[in-house]
Amino acid sequence: MKSTTKRRFLIIASMVALLVLVFAMSVSTFAKYTTSKETGTQSTTVAKWGYVLELDYANFFEEYDLYTEDALNPGAYLSSKTTKLRPQSEGELTFSIRGTAEVKSRVAINLSMNSNVTLTSDGKTYEPIKWTLSKWDDSASTYVTVSGCDGVDLATITTKLNATEDVDAGKTASIAGKYQLSYIWVFNNEAATEITGLNGNQADTVLGTMADLDNEASDSNANENEITATVEGVDYTATTELSINFSISVEQIAE
């Protein structure tokens, strides 16, 4: 009996030892070979569109007092505000393009003229309104006239100013910056004009005279802004409206 009991005890003891060993091995296995994998936080954001366009044309057509005679009170004059062009008229608009984007973009500046104030005779044309384009210079803290764009016709300005540029993500457009476009109709202009025999003052007077003409009493052209008439024996064609189109734009384009 003792031998049997002893054997059973040894077997049980061996089983317990085996279980303890297995348990110990299991613990050891998990402690040594357990693997963890961290992906970290995965996220994304909307690509930045950091362009800022500014356009101020509040002073493009200046207002001034226009005095007209009061029909009910001879000798008295009425005053009203007008933006009609005349010698001494001047105006300006400013615009700026700044910023960048995290996507490819297309930046564009477009200036065009619909109609201009002109006086034409014998194939020669006088344009009283002169234009100037300037760009802001940070180092000088002022606008600096763009080369070749001081007191010229608008066609010259458009050649220098109009541009379309494709800009890579994160880059700054070469045409970015702050600009000023201004015009002036010179007052008391005694310089000779393109029209033979007329200086600036005389040509301006003819323009004003033709603007005063009743279109029904003058010959009408296909262009409703044009007036054809004879003034002091000379045939003239005048355009009496200034109209321009101007736009700045930025749009995303495909990579």
> Residue 10: helix, strand or coil by DSSP?
helix
| 158/171 Cα distance (integer angstroms) | 25
How confident is residue 242, by pLDDT bands cut at 50, 70 and 90? Answer: confident
pLDDT reading at 47 higher than 90: no
Q: What is the mean pLDDT of residues 228-235?
A: 92
* Residue range 36-53: mean pLDDT, rounded: 67
**Residue 156, helix vs strand vs coil:** helix
Look at residue 121 in the predicted model and tell me its pLDDT.
96
**Tens of pLDDT, residues 188-231:** 999 999 999 999 999 999 999 998 875 444 444 545 678 999 99
Tokens of 212: 């005063």
Average pLDDT, the chain: 79
188, two tokens: 């008391």
- Give the Cα separation of 195 and 149 in Å (integer): 23
In the chain, domain spans: 52-252
- The SS3 assignment for 161 reads helix
- Least Cα distance to 179 among 190, 163, 195 occurs for 163
